[in-house]
Amino acid sequence: MSIIKFLSSKTFLKQILLAIAAIVVLCFIFLRWLNMTTNHGDFETVPDLKGKSINVAQVELEDNNLVMQIQDSANYNPDYPKFSVIEQDPVAGAKVKEDRKIYITLNPSGYRKIRVPDGLIDKTYRQVKPTLEALGFKVGKITYVDNIGKDMVLKLSHQGTTIESGDKLPKTSVIDLVLGNGNRP
């Protein structure tokens, strides 16, 4: 039997039609199953969690069939209460699937502690001030005492306590300075 006769035979054409019909039926069944298992067209709206406590955020996400995933805390933001949500991903109002993870960032309990650098004593005020401000500290009250080094830093203090090199203070702490006035003692 030649190839051309075989390709034009009724048996071959029936087999081709049956194969095409089977593929169409299988595709139809697969697409229906896919629609049911993926909840195609069903979305949940992400609630606005910013400024809310972790417990309130947990309840709101559970009510919307969403899952909370806490990321590491960020830098302290005084505009939000302690341990409240300051960021979320995806953003509020986004449409997501059921059981989607919502990543939240919490506000820590306070500013992180920063180490006071070595070698600030016996340096000029002009050198010490930018160093402290670059680390996040604030320069507070400046007092002058008799010392031959004009504007030389003689002592650092925070809330009346003398600060030594290596001490740790919360960021934005106010550091008072004692400087020399250029007069001999």
pTM of the complete model: 0.58
CATH code that applies to domain 113-180: 3.30.10.20
Nearest to 49 by CA among 111, 103, 110: 103
CATH 3.40.50.970, applies to 44-106: no
d(CA 115, CA 34): 57
pLDDT, position 65: 87
| Tokens 């002009």 found at | 126
Task: Parse the chain into domains and list their residue ranges.
Answer: 3-37, 44-106, 113-180
- Sheet with 67-70, strands from edge to edge, namely 67-70, 101-106, 85-89
Share of the chain above pLDDT 90, in %: 30
What tokens does 97 get? 């699937």
pLDDT band (50, 70, 90) for residue 74? low
pLDDT of res. 1 = 60
User: Mean pLDDT across the chain, nearest whole number?
Assistant: 87
